[in-house]
Chains A and B, each alone.
Chain A
Amino acid sequence: MKVLVTVKEVAEADDDFAIEGTDIAESDLEYDLNEWDDYAVEAAVQLAEAGIADEVVTVTVGPERAEETIRMALAKGADRAVRVWDDALAGGFADVASKVDLFEAVVEEEEPDLILGGVQAADTGFGATGVALAERIGFEHAAVVNHLDVDADAGVAHVHRELEGGVEELTDVDLPAVLTVQTGLNEPRYASLRGIRQAQRKEIAPKDLSDLGLSAEEVESALTITEMYEPESESDAEIIEGDAGESAGRLAEVLRDKGVGA
Protein backbone atom coordinates (compact mmCIF):
# COMPACT_ATOMS: atom_id res chain seq x y z
CA MET A 1 0.00 0.00 0.00
CA LYS A 2 1.24 3.45 -0.86
CA VAL A 3 0.61 6.40 1.46
CA LEU A 4 0.78 9.99 0.26
CA VAL A 5 1.13 12.67 2.93
CA THR A 6 0.36 16.30 2.18
CA VAL A 7 2.89 18.41 4.03
CA LYS A 8 2.76 22.16 4.35
CA GLU A 9 5.36 24.62 5.42
CA VAL A 10 3.51 27.20 7.49
CA ALA A 11 4.47 30.70 8.50
CA GLU A 12 4.25 31.94 12.05
CA ALA A 13 4.33 35.62 12.97
CA ASP A 14 6.96 36.86 15.42
CA ASP A 15 5.75 38.48 18.65
CA ASP A 16 6.43 41.84 17.04
CA PHE A 17 5.46 42.08 13.42
CA ALA A 18 4.65 44.62 10.75
CA ILE A 19 2.01 44.29 8.07
CA GLU A 20 3.15 45.20 4.56
CA GLY A 21 0.28 45.45 2.11
CA THR A 22 -1.84 42.35 2.49
CA ASP A 23 0.65 40.15 4.33
CA ILE A 24 2.97 40.15 7.30
CA ALA A 25 6.45 41.42 6.46
CA GLU A 26 8.62 38.54 5.29
CA SER A 27 11.29 39.38 7.87
CA ASP A 28 8.74 38.91 10.68
CA LEU A 29 7.73 35.40 9.63
CA GLU A 30 9.26 32.12 10.63
CA TYR A 31 8.62 28.90 8.77
CA ASP A 32 8.03 25.45 10.16
CA LEU A 33 6.37 22.13 9.40
CA ASN A 34 2.63 22.47 10.02
CA GLU A 35 1.90 20.97 13.45
CA TRP A 36 -1.07 18.89 12.20
CA ASP A 37 0.95 17.52 9.26
CA ASP A 38 3.61 16.30 11.67
CA TYR A 39 1.02 13.90 13.10
CA ALA A 40 0.10 12.80 9.58
CA VAL A 41 3.73 12.05 8.75
CA GLU A 42 4.06 10.07 11.97
CA ALA A 43 0.93 8.06 11.20
CA ALA A 44 2.26 7.21 7.73
CA VAL A 45 5.69 6.20 9.01
CA GLN A 46 4.07 4.01 11.67
CA LEU A 47 2.05 2.28 8.93
CA ALA A 48 5.32 1.60 7.08
CA GLU A 49 6.96 0.27 10.24
CA ALA A 50 3.98 -2.02 10.81
CA GLY A 51 4.48 -3.43 7.31
CA ILE A 52 1.12 -2.03 6.16
CA ALA A 53 2.55 0.68 3.91
CA ASP A 54 5.24 -0.13 1.34
CA GLU A 55 6.04 3.45 0.54
CA VAL A 56 5.46 6.85 2.11
CA VAL A 57 5.66 9.82 -0.25
CA THR A 58 5.15 13.42 0.82
CA VAL A 59 3.78 16.15 -1.40
CA THR A 60 4.20 19.86 -0.76
CA VAL A 61 3.12 22.95 -2.60
CA GLY A 62 5.84 25.48 -1.88
CA PRO A 63 8.93 27.32 -3.08
CA GLU A 64 12.47 25.98 -2.79
CA ARG A 65 12.70 27.29 0.78
CA ALA A 66 10.13 24.62 1.75
CA GLU A 67 12.71 21.89 1.18
CA GLU A 68 14.03 22.46 4.69
CA THR A 69 10.65 21.43 6.03
CA ILE A 70 10.35 18.57 3.58
CA ARG A 71 13.73 17.22 4.74
CA MET A 72 12.31 17.13 8.26
CA ALA A 73 9.55 14.80 7.08
CA LEU A 74 12.09 12.70 5.18
CA ALA A 75 14.31 12.52 8.27
CA LYS A 76 11.37 11.13 10.21
CA GLY A 77 11.02 8.28 7.76
CA ALA A 78 9.15 9.30 4.60
CA ASP A 79 10.78 7.64 1.57
CA ARG A 80 10.73 10.46 -0.94
CA ALA A 81 9.06 13.77 -1.64
CA VAL A 82 7.38 15.72 -4.41
CA ARG A 83 7.50 19.50 -4.32
CA VAL A 84 5.20 21.46 -6.59
CA TRP A 85 5.94 25.07 -7.39
CA ASP A 86 5.61 27.51 -10.21
CA ASP A 87 6.20 31.23 -10.52
CA ALA A 88 2.53 31.49 -11.45
CA LEU A 89 1.72 30.44 -7.86
CA ALA A 90 3.85 33.13 -6.22
CA GLY A 91 2.19 36.25 -4.90
CA GLY A 92 -1.47 35.26 -5.03
CA PHE A 93 -3.48 33.53 -2.35
CA ALA A 94 -4.26 29.99 -3.50
CA ASP A 95 -7.83 28.89 -2.89
CA VAL A 96 -8.80 25.34 -2.00
CA ALA A 97 -9.75 24.37 -5.55
CA SER A 98 -6.44 25.45 -7.04
CA LYS A 99 -4.50 23.46 -4.44
CA VAL A 100 -6.71 20.52 -5.22
CA ASP A 101 -5.85 20.92 -8.94
CA LEU A 102 -2.18 20.47 -8.06
CA PHE A 103 -2.69 17.56 -5.67
CA GLU A 104 -5.02 15.83 -8.11
CA ALA A 105 -2.30 15.86 -10.76
CA VAL A 106 0.20 14.38 -8.27
CA VAL A 107 -2.31 11.73 -7.19
CA GLU A 108 -2.72 10.71 -10.84
CA GLU A 109 1.03 10.11 -11.07
CA GLU A 110 1.50 8.46 -7.69
CA GLU A 111 -1.71 6.44 -7.39
CA PRO A 112 -1.72 6.21 -3.58
CA ASP A 113 -4.14 3.99 -1.61
CA LEU A 114 -4.29 6.33 1.35
CA ILE A 115 -3.74 10.07 1.65
CA LEU A 116 -3.05 11.66 5.02
CA GLY A 117 -2.86 15.36 5.81
CA GLY A 118 -3.27 17.68 8.75
CA VAL A 119 -6.79 18.82 9.61
CA GLN A 120 -5.77 22.44 9.08
CA ALA A 121 -2.79 24.62 8.30
CA ALA A 122 -1.74 26.80 11.22
CA ASP A 123 -1.28 29.93 9.09
CA THR A 124 -4.43 30.15 6.94
CA GLY A 125 -6.63 27.89 9.07
CA PHE A 126 -8.79 26.82 6.12
CA GLY A 127 -9.14 23.15 7.10
CA ALA A 128 -10.58 22.25 3.71
CA THR A 129 -8.02 20.87 1.28
CA GLY A 130 -8.14 17.18 2.24
CA VAL A 131 -11.91 16.81 2.05
CA ALA A 132 -12.11 18.77 -1.22
CA LEU A 133 -9.35 16.60 -2.69
CA ALA A 134 -11.22 13.42 -1.74
CA GLU A 135 -14.29 14.64 -3.60
CA ARG A 136 -12.28 15.56 -6.68
CA ILE A 137 -10.44 12.24 -6.99
CA GLY A 138 -13.35 10.07 -5.93
CA PHE A 139 -11.80 8.80 -2.66
CA GLU A 140 -13.73 8.32 0.57
CA HIS A 141 -12.77 10.65 3.41
CA ALA A 142 -12.93 11.48 7.09
CA ALA A 143 -11.99 14.77 8.73
CA VAL A 144 -10.54 15.42 12.21
CA VAL A 145 -9.29 11.88 12.76
CA ASN A 146 -7.66 11.23 16.14
CA HIS A 147 -7.47 7.43 16.07
CA LEU A 148 -6.51 5.32 13.08
CA ASP A 149 -6.42 1.59 12.54
CA VAL A 150 -5.88 0.45 8.95
CA ASP A 151 -7.11 -3.01 7.92
CA ALA A 152 -5.42 -3.23 4.52
CA ASP A 153 -6.75 -6.71 3.73
CA ALA A 154 -10.33 -5.65 4.28
CA GLY A 155 -9.65 -2.32 2.56
CA VAL A 156 -11.01 -0.34 5.49
CA ALA A 157 -9.67 2.32 7.83
CA HIS A 158 -11.30 2.25 11.26
CA VAL A 159 -11.12 5.80 12.54
CA HIS A 160 -12.31 7.97 15.39
CA ARG A 161 -13.38 11.47 14.47
CA GLU A 162 -13.10 13.97 17.26
CA LEU A 163 -16.31 15.97 17.62
CA GLU A 164 -16.87 18.91 19.93
CA GLY A 165 -17.19 18.53 23.69
CA GLY A 166 -15.26 15.31 24.29
CA VAL A 167 -17.30 13.05 22.02
CA GLU A 168 -15.71 10.84 19.37
CA GLU A 169 -17.46 9.33 16.39
CA LEU A 170 -16.40 5.84 15.31
CA THR A 171 -16.39 5.44 11.54
CA ASP A 172 -15.32 2.80 9.01
CA VAL A 173 -13.95 4.35 5.84
CA ASP A 174 -13.40 2.28 2.70
CA LEU A 175 -10.02 2.66 1.02
CA PRO A 176 -8.80 4.45 -0.98
CA ALA A 177 -9.42 7.39 1.30
CA VAL A 178 -8.22 10.82 2.37
CA LEU A 179 -7.98 11.32 6.14
CA THR A 180 -7.28 14.66 7.78
CA VAL A 181 -5.63 14.06 11.12
CA GLN A 182 -5.89 15.79 14.43
CA THR A 183 -3.13 16.34 16.99
CA GLY A 184 -3.13 13.69 19.72
CA LEU A 185 -3.40 10.89 17.12
CA ASN A 186 0.11 9.74 18.01
CA GLU A 187 3.39 11.07 19.35
CA PRO A 188 5.40 12.56 16.49
CA ARG A 189 9.02 11.49 16.75
CA TYR A 190 12.01 13.76 16.69
CA ALA A 191 14.25 13.28 13.67
CA SER A 192 17.30 11.24 14.68
CA LEU A 193 20.78 12.28 13.57
CA ARG A 194 20.88 9.19 11.41
CA GLY A 195 17.51 10.08 9.92
CA ILE A 196 18.70 13.61 9.17
CA ARG A 197 21.79 12.22 7.41
CA GLN A 198 19.72 9.79 5.40
CA ALA A 199 17.25 12.50 4.45
CA GLN A 200 20.02 14.33 2.59
CA ARG A 201 20.15 11.49 0.07
CA LYS A 202 16.41 11.10 -0.40
CA GLU A 203 14.72 12.45 -3.49
CA ILE A 204 12.73 15.68 -3.53
CA ALA A 205 11.25 15.83 -7.04
CA PRO A 206 10.45 19.39 -8.13
CA LYS A 207 7.45 19.77 -10.42
CA ASP A 208 6.09 22.85 -12.10
CA LEU A 209 2.72 23.37 -13.69
CA SER A 210 3.75 22.07 -17.10
CA ASP A 211 5.21 18.90 -15.50
CA LEU A 212 1.73 18.29 -14.11
CA GLY A 213 -0.02 19.14 -17.37
CA LEU A 214 -1.66 22.24 -15.91
CA SER A 215 -1.84 25.83 -17.07
CA ALA A 216 -1.72 28.98 -14.98
CA GLU A 217 -5.35 29.73 -15.88
CA GLU A 218 -6.48 26.36 -14.57
CA VAL A 219 -5.09 27.03 -11.10
CA GLU A 220 -6.29 30.60 -10.87
CA SER A 221 -7.63 31.40 -7.41
CA ALA A 222 -11.13 32.68 -6.75
CA LEU A 223 -9.90 34.39 -3.59
CA THR A 224 -8.04 37.68 -3.23
CA ILE A 225 -6.93 39.07 0.09
CA THR A 226 -7.85 42.74 -0.06
CA GLU A 227 -6.84 43.87 3.40
CA MET A 228 -4.88 42.66 6.40
CA TYR A 229 -4.86 44.45 9.73
CA GLU A 230 -4.41 43.82 13.41
CA PRO A 231 -7.85 43.11 14.84
CA GLU A 232 -9.23 45.88 16.95
CA SER A 233 -9.10 44.63 20.48
CA GLU A 234 -12.55 44.70 22.00
CA SER A 235 -11.06 43.99 25.34
CA ASP A 236 -10.68 46.41 28.16
CA ALA A 237 -7.98 44.28 29.69
CA GLU A 238 -6.00 46.04 32.34
CA ILE A 239 -2.39 45.30 31.46
CA ILE A 240 -0.45 45.16 34.71
CA GLU A 241 2.88 46.89 34.23
CA GLY A 242 6.14 46.57 36.09
CA ASP A 243 8.77 43.90 36.63
CA ALA A 244 7.82 40.36 37.59
CA GLY A 245 7.72 41.13 41.31
CA GLU A 246 5.61 44.28 40.95
CA SER A 247 3.16 42.81 38.49
CA ALA A 248 2.76 39.62 40.54
CA GLY A 249 2.12 41.78 43.61
CA ARG A 250 -0.57 43.79 41.86
CA LEU A 251 -2.14 40.64 40.39
CA ALA A 252 -2.18 39.07 43.85
CA GLU A 253 -4.22 42.06 45.08
CA VAL A 254 -6.69 41.64 42.23
CA LEU A 255 -7.01 37.92 42.89
CA ARG A 256 -7.52 38.42 46.64
CA ASP A 257 -10.25 40.93 45.84
CA LYS A 258 -11.96 38.17 43.90
CA GLY A 259 -11.70 35.88 46.89
CA VAL A 260 -8.90 33.72 45.53
CA GLY A 261 -6.57 32.12 48.07
CA ALA A 262 -8.80 33.12 50.98
Chain B
Amino acid sequence: MMSVLVAAEHRRGALRDVTYEAITAGRELADARGADLHVAVIGGDVDGFAEELDREGVDAIHAVDDGEEFDHNAYQAAVSTLADRLDAGAVVLPNSVNGLDYAPALAEDLGAPVVTDAVGIDYDDGLTVTREMYGSKVETTVDVAGDRFVITVRGGEWAPAEGVGDATVETAEVDIPESGARVTGFEEVGGGDVDIADADVLVSVGRGIEEEENLELVEELADALGATLSASRPIVDNGWLPKNRQVGQSGKVVTPDVYIAVGISGAVQHVAGMKGSDTIVAINTDPNAPIFDIADYGIVGDLFDVVPELIDEFA
Protein backbone atom coordinates (compact mmCIF):
# COMPACT_ATOMS: atom_id res chain seq x y z
CA MET B 1 0.00 0.00 0.00
CA MET B 2 1.18 3.48 -0.77
CA SER B 3 2.16 5.47 2.28
CA VAL B 4 2.55 9.12 3.18
CA LEU B 5 5.86 10.37 4.54
CA VAL B 6 6.33 13.53 6.62
CA ALA B 7 9.79 14.85 7.47
CA ALA B 8 10.23 16.57 10.82
CA GLU B 9 12.06 19.86 11.22
CA HIS B 10 14.11 20.87 14.22
CA ARG B 11 16.58 23.58 15.10
CA ARG B 12 19.01 23.91 17.96
CA GLY B 13 17.68 20.97 19.88
CA ALA B 14 13.95 21.54 19.49
CA LEU B 15 11.35 20.30 17.03
CA ARG B 16 9.63 23.18 15.25
CA ASP B 17 5.83 23.63 15.48
CA VAL B 18 5.41 23.33 11.70
CA THR B 19 6.40 19.68 12.08
CA TYR B 20 3.22 18.84 13.99
CA GLU B 21 1.12 20.79 11.49
CA ALA B 22 2.70 18.85 8.63
CA ILE B 23 1.84 15.63 10.49
CA THR B 24 -1.84 16.66 10.58
CA ALA B 25 -1.79 17.48 6.86
CA GLY B 26 -0.02 14.18 6.16
CA ARG B 27 -2.58 12.25 8.23
CA GLU B 28 -5.47 13.81 6.26
CA LEU B 29 -3.84 12.82 3.01
CA ALA B 30 -3.10 9.31 4.32
CA ASP B 31 -6.76 8.92 5.36
CA ALA B 32 -7.96 10.02 1.93
CA ARG B 33 -5.69 7.44 0.31
CA GLY B 34 -6.17 4.69 2.89
CA ALA B 35 -2.47 4.78 3.59
CA ASP B 36 -0.10 4.65 6.55
CA LEU B 37 1.58 7.77 7.89
CA HIS B 38 5.34 7.62 8.37
CA VAL B 39 7.45 10.34 9.95
CA ALA B 40 11.18 10.77 9.32
CA VAL B 41 13.42 12.60 11.75
CA ILE B 42 16.96 13.33 10.68
CA GLY B 43 19.85 14.51 12.82
CA GLY B 44 20.07 15.88 16.34
CA ASP B 45 18.69 13.96 19.31
CA VAL B 46 16.76 11.54 17.11
CA ASP B 47 15.69 9.27 19.97
CA GLY B 48 14.28 12.11 22.03
CA PHE B 49 12.63 13.60 18.95
CA ALA B 50 11.13 10.22 18.00
CA GLU B 51 9.40 10.07 21.38
CA GLU B 52 7.94 13.54 20.96
CA LEU B 53 6.82 12.79 17.42
CA ASP B 54 4.72 9.84 18.50
CA ARG B 55 1.43 11.67 18.23
CA GLU B 56 -2.00 10.30 17.42
CA GLY B 57 -2.27 9.12 13.84
CA VAL B 58 1.41 8.45 13.29
CA ASP B 59 2.01 4.82 12.27
CA ALA B 60 5.80 4.69 12.16
CA ILE B 61 8.79 6.88 12.95
CA HIS B 62 12.12 6.50 11.21
CA ALA B 63 15.13 7.99 12.94
CA VAL B 64 18.16 8.80 10.82
CA ASP B 65 21.12 9.59 13.03
CA ASP B 66 23.25 12.02 11.05
CA GLY B 67 24.71 15.32 12.23
CA GLU B 68 23.26 17.84 14.66
CA GLU B 69 21.54 20.41 12.49
CA PHE B 70 19.79 20.67 9.15
CA ASP B 71 21.93 19.74 6.17
CA HIS B 72 20.05 19.67 2.88
CA ASN B 73 22.14 16.84 1.46
CA ALA B 74 21.44 14.57 4.39
CA TYR B 75 17.75 15.48 4.45
CA GLN B 76 17.33 14.91 0.74
CA ALA B 77 19.18 11.59 0.79
CA ALA B 78 17.30 10.34 3.85
CA VAL B 79 13.82 11.36 2.72
CA SER B 80 14.41 10.15 -0.83
CA THR B 81 15.68 6.76 0.37
CA LEU B 82 12.81 6.37 2.84
CA ALA B 83 10.24 7.44 0.24
CA ASP B 84 11.42 4.64 -2.03
CA ARG B 85 11.73 2.09 0.77
CA LEU B 86 8.23 2.85 2.08
CA ASP B 87 6.69 3.26 -1.36
CA ALA B 88 5.56 6.74 -0.33
CA GLY B 89 3.09 8.27 -2.77
CA ALA B 90 3.32 11.64 -1.08
CA VAL B 91 6.00 13.45 0.87
CA VAL B 92 4.75 16.30 3.05
CA LEU B 93 7.21 18.89 4.39
CA PRO B 94 6.88 22.23 6.17
CA ASN B 95 6.99 25.23 3.84
CA SER B 96 9.80 26.68 5.90
CA VAL B 97 13.11 28.19 4.85
CA ASN B 98 14.74 24.79 5.25
CA GLY B 99 11.84 23.00 3.59
CA LEU B 100 12.39 25.19 0.55
CA ASP B 101 16.11 24.41 0.69
CA TYR B 102 15.53 20.75 -0.19
CA ALA B 103 11.91 19.96 -1.15
CA PRO B 104 12.37 21.04 -4.81
CA ALA B 105 15.60 19.00 -5.12
CA LEU B 106 13.91 16.03 -3.49
CA ALA B 107 11.05 16.26 -6.00
CA GLU B 108 13.56 16.34 -8.89
CA ASP B 109 15.30 13.36 -7.37
CA LEU B 110 12.04 11.41 -7.05
CA GLY B 111 10.82 12.52 -10.47
CA ALA B 112 7.67 13.83 -8.80
CA PRO B 113 5.95 17.20 -9.16
CA VAL B 114 6.40 19.64 -6.28
CA VAL B 115 3.69 21.97 -5.01
CA THR B 116 4.82 24.47 -2.41
CA ASP B 117 3.02 26.61 0.14
CA ALA B 118 -0.19 24.56 0.17
CA VAL B 119 -3.05 25.95 2.27
CA GLY B 120 -5.37 23.06 1.49
CA ILE B 121 -5.04 19.48 0.21
CA ASP B 122 -7.75 17.28 -1.26
CA TYR B 123 -7.34 13.79 -2.52
CA ASP B 124 -10.05 12.09 -4.51
CA ASP B 125 -8.83 10.03 -7.49
CA GLY B 126 -6.06 12.58 -7.79
CA LEU B 127 -4.44 15.36 -5.85
CA THR B 128 -5.84 18.88 -5.72
CA VAL B 129 -3.91 21.52 -3.83
CA THR B 130 -5.22 24.92 -2.78
CA ARG B 131 -2.67 27.74 -3.03
CA GLU B 132 -2.64 31.50 -3.11
CA MET B 133 -1.33 33.68 -5.92
CA TYR B 134 -0.70 37.33 -6.65
CA GLY B 135 0.33 38.22 -3.12
CA SER B 136 -2.61 36.36 -1.51
CA LYS B 137 -5.17 38.36 -3.46
CA VAL B 138 -6.57 35.20 -5.04
CA GLU B 139 -6.82 31.55 -4.17
CA THR B 140 -6.43 28.78 -6.74
CA THR B 141 -7.07 25.07 -6.88
CA VAL B 142 -4.37 23.17 -8.71
CA ASP B 143 -4.77 19.63 -10.05
CA VAL B 144 -1.58 17.62 -9.92
CA ALA B 145 -1.03 14.83 -12.45
CA GLY B 146 0.64 11.58 -11.43
CA ASP B 147 0.51 9.40 -8.34
CA ARG B 148 3.52 10.64 -6.40
CA PHE B 149 4.05 14.18 -5.13
CA VAL B 150 6.08 16.41 -2.88
CA ILE B 151 4.00 19.01 -1.04
CA THR B 152 5.14 21.74 1.33
CA VAL B 153 2.47 23.05 3.70
CA ARG B 154 2.12 26.62 4.93
CA GLY B 155 2.56 27.17 8.66
CA GLY B 156 -0.56 27.92 10.68
CA GLU B 157 -3.03 26.30 8.24
CA TRP B 158 -3.34 22.88 9.91
CA ALA B 159 -3.82 22.25 13.61
CA PRO B 160 -0.78 20.69 15.23
CA ALA B 161 -1.03 16.93 15.79
CA GLU B 162 -1.67 16.14 19.44
CA GLY B 163 -2.13 13.22 21.80
CA VAL B 164 0.11 10.25 22.28
CA GLY B 165 0.26 7.59 19.59
CA ASP B 166 1.55 4.06 19.36
CA ALA B 167 3.92 4.38 16.44
CA THR B 168 6.73 1.93 15.86
CA VAL B 169 10.12 3.57 16.08
CA GLU B 170 12.97 2.34 13.92
CA THR B 171 16.49 3.44 13.31
CA ALA B 172 16.95 3.82 9.57
CA GLU B 173 20.31 3.32 7.93
CA VAL B 174 20.78 5.66 5.00
CA ASP B 175 23.80 6.38 2.83
CA ILE B 176 24.46 10.09 3.06
CA PRO B 177 26.69 11.37 0.27
CA GLU B 178 29.51 13.83 0.92
CA SER B 179 28.12 17.36 0.96
CA GLY B 180 29.37 20.29 -1.09
CA ALA B 181 27.55 22.69 1.23
CA ARG B 182 28.72 22.85 4.84
CA VAL B 183 27.03 24.68 7.68
CA THR B 184 29.71 26.53 9.69
CA GLY B 185 27.58 28.24 12.32
CA PHE B 186 24.63 30.40 13.26
CA GLU B 187 24.28 34.08 13.92
CA GLU B 188 21.57 35.94 15.81
CA VAL B 189 20.59 39.21 14.12
CA GLY B 190 18.63 42.12 15.46
CA GLY B 191 19.33 43.10 19.03
CA GLY B 192 19.43 46.89 19.27
CA ASP B 193 17.73 49.61 21.23
CA VAL B 194 14.12 48.51 21.67
CA ASP B 195 12.35 45.21 21.84
CA ILE B 196 9.17 45.60 19.80
CA ALA B 197 7.95 42.33 21.32
CA ASP B 198 7.54 44.18 24.65
CA ALA B 199 5.35 46.98 23.29
CA ASP B 200 1.63 47.20 24.13
CA VAL B 201 0.88 49.34 21.10
CA LEU B 202 2.73 49.13 17.78
CA VAL B 203 2.45 51.48 14.83
CA SER B 204 3.85 49.42 11.99
CA VAL B 205 4.80 50.96 8.69
CA GLY B 206 5.09 49.32 5.27
CA ARG B 207 6.07 50.14 1.72
CA GLY B 208 2.99 52.34 1.32
CA ILE B 209 5.05 55.08 2.98
CA GLU B 210 7.03 55.36 -0.27
CA GLU B 211 9.97 57.51 0.86
CA GLU B 212 12.30 57.55 3.82
CA GLU B 213 11.43 61.21 4.51
CA ASN B 214 7.80 60.22 5.02
CA LEU B 215 8.70 58.00 7.96
CA GLU B 216 8.51 61.15 10.09
CA LEU B 217 4.76 61.06 9.66
CA VAL B 218 4.37 57.60 11.25
CA GLU B 219 6.95 58.47 13.91
CA GLU B 220 4.74 61.40 14.82
CA LEU B 221 1.74 59.09 15.00
CA ALA B 222 3.61 56.65 17.22
CA ASP B 223 4.59 59.53 19.51
CA ALA B 224 1.05 60.84 19.68
CA LEU B 225 -0.28 57.40 20.59
CA GLY B 226 2.52 56.54 22.98
CA ALA B 227 3.28 53.59 20.70
CA THR B 228 6.43 51.90 19.46
CA LEU B 229 7.37 51.98 15.79
CA SER B 230 7.80 48.71 13.88
CA ALA B 231 7.88 47.87 10.18
CA SER B 232 7.44 45.37 7.40
CA ARG B 233 10.48 43.96 5.71
CA PRO B 234 10.98 46.35 2.74
CA ILE B 235 11.44 49.26 5.16
CA VAL B 236 14.24 47.35 6.87
CA ASP B 237 15.73 46.10 3.57
CA ASN B 238 15.92 49.73 2.46
CA GLY B 239 17.91 50.53 5.57
CA TRP B 240 15.28 53.01 6.77
CA LEU B 241 14.84 51.24 10.10
CA PRO B 242 17.07 48.72 11.89
CA LYS B 243 16.44 44.97 11.69
CA ASN B 244 15.16 44.77 15.27
CA ARG B 245 12.06 46.71 14.13
CA GLN B 246 11.02 44.08 11.57
CA VAL B 247 7.83 42.15 12.25
CA GLY B 248 7.38 38.78 10.58
CA GLN B 249 8.62 35.32 9.84
CA SER B 250 12.23 36.40 9.57
CA GLY B 251 11.81 39.26 12.03
CA LYS B 252 10.05 39.39 15.39
CA VAL B 253 6.82 37.78 16.47
CA VAL B 254 4.78 40.40 18.31
CA THR B 255 1.55 40.19 20.30
CA PRO B 256 0.67 43.73 21.35
CA ASP B 257 -2.77 44.86 22.54
CA VAL B 258 -3.07 47.03 19.45
CA TYR B 259 -1.22 46.68 16.12
CA ILE B 260 -1.75 49.43 13.58
CA ALA B 261 -0.59 48.41 10.09
CA VAL B 262 -0.02 51.49 7.96
CA GLY B 263 0.54 50.81 4.24
CA ILE B 264 1.26 47.12 4.77
CA SER B 265 -0.27 44.58 2.35
CA GLY B 266 -0.31 41.64 4.77
CA ALA B 267 1.97 39.18 3.01
CA VAL B 268 1.95 35.76 4.66
CA GLN B 269 5.48 36.21 6.02
CA HIS B 270 4.48 39.49 7.64
CA VAL B 271 1.23 38.14 9.07
CA ALA B 272 3.16 35.24 10.63
CA GLY B 273 4.70 37.80 12.97
CA MET B 274 1.65 39.78 14.08
CA LYS B 275 -1.52 37.71 13.74
CA GLY B 276 -1.55 37.10 17.48
CA SER B 277 -2.11 40.79 18.24
CA ASP B 278 -5.27 41.48 20.27
CA THR B 279 -6.64 44.21 18.05
CA ILE B 280 -5.41 44.76 14.50
CA VAL B 281 -6.05 48.00 12.65
CA ALA B 282 -5.20 48.41 8.96
CA ILE B 283 -4.94 51.58 6.91
CA ASN B 284 -4.53 50.76 3.23
CA THR B 285 -5.69 52.16 -0.13
CA ASP B 286 -6.31 48.70 -1.56
CA PRO B 287 -9.62 47.19 -0.39
CA ASN B 288 -8.35 43.76 -1.53
CA ALA B 289 -5.16 43.91 0.52
CA PRO B 290 -4.95 40.65 2.51
CA ILE B 291 -4.25 42.60 5.72
CA PHE B 292 -7.99 43.38 5.86
CA ASP B 293 -8.71 39.66 6.19
CA ILE B 294 -7.10 39.56 9.61
CA ALA B 295 -7.86 43.12 10.71
CA ASP B 296 -10.48 44.00 13.34
CA TYR B 297 -10.81 47.58 12.12
CA GLY B 298 -9.94 48.86 8.67
CA ILE B 299 -9.78 52.17 6.89
CA VAL B 300 -9.67 51.92 3.10
CA GLY B 301 -7.87 55.14 2.43
CA ASP B 302 -4.68 57.02 1.75
CA LEU B 303 -2.36 57.01 4.73
CA PHE B 304 -1.17 60.49 3.80
CA ASP B 305 -4.72 61.75 4.39
CA VAL B 306 -5.69 59.55 7.32
CA VAL B 307 -2.54 59.59 9.45
CA PRO B 308 -2.32 63.43 9.83
CA GLU B 309 -5.99 63.49 10.91
CA LEU B 310 -5.33 60.74 13.41
CA ILE B 311 -2.33 62.62 14.81
CA ASP B 312 -4.59 65.66 15.25
CA GLU B 313 -7.08 63.53 17.20
CA PHE B 314 -4.41 62.68 19.76
CA ALA B 315 -2.42 65.91 19.70
Contact = CB atoms under 8 A, between A and B. Distances in A.
Given A174-B181, A184-B233, A231-B136, A142 B286 contact: no
10 contacts: A13-B135, A96-B114, A119-B100, A125-B117, A126-B116, A164-B250, A165-B252, A183-B237, A222-B145, A252-B314
Could you say which interface size class chain B belongs to? 35 or more
B183 A223 contact: no
Contact of B184 (A134, A172, A229): A172
Name the residue in B76, B140, B285 with the highest tally of chain A Cβ atoms < 10 Å from its Cβ: B140
B146 A222 contact: yes
B25 interface: no
B97 A131 contact: no
A260 B258 contact: yes
Given A167-B187, A167-B189, A239 B257 contact: no
Name the residue in B76, B105, B285 with the highest tally of chain A Cβ atoms < 10 Å from its Cβ: B105
Interface stretch (B32-40, B41-49, B54-62, B287-295): B287-295
Contacts of B181: 140-142, 171-174, 177
B108 A135 contact: yes
A165 to B, nearest CB: 7
Interface in B101-122: 101-105, 107-109, 113-117
A227 B113 contact: no
Interface stretch (A14-22, A44-52, A72-80): A14-22
Nearest to A186: B237
A13 to B, nearest CB: 5
Contact of A131 (B105, B132, B188): B105
Interface of B: 11, 70, 72, 76, 96-98, 100-105, 107-109, 113-117, 128, 131-146, 180-190, 201, 224-227, 233-234, 236-239, 243, 249-253, 257-258, 279, 281-282, 285-288, 292-302, 305-306, 309-310, 312-314
A128 interface: yes
B194 to A, nearest CB: 14
A169 B116 CA distance: 22
A161 interface: yes
A235 B298 CA distance: 11
Contacts of B96: 164
A258 B139 contact: no
A12 interface: yes
A201 to B, nearest CB: 32
A187 B238 CA distance: 7
A237 B306 contact: no
Given A170-B184, A171-B184, A177-B181, 10 more contacts: A141-B101, A144-B97, A160-B187, A171-B182, A183-B237, A223-B113, A226-B142, A244-B309, A259-B257, A261-B226
Interface of A: 11-13, 15-17, 19, 22, 24, 93, 95-97, 100, 119, 122-132, 134-136, 140-144, 160-174, 177, 183-184, 187, 222-231, 233-240, 244-245, 247-249, 251-252, 254-255, 258-261
Contacts of A13: 134-135, 137-138, 288
Given A125-B117, A163-B11, A233-B293, A255 B225 contact: yes
9 tightest Cβ-Cβ pairs between the two chains A and B: A248-B309, A252-B313, A244-B305, A135-B105, A132-B104, A128-B104, A174-B180, A222-B113, A135-B108
Nearest to A252: B313
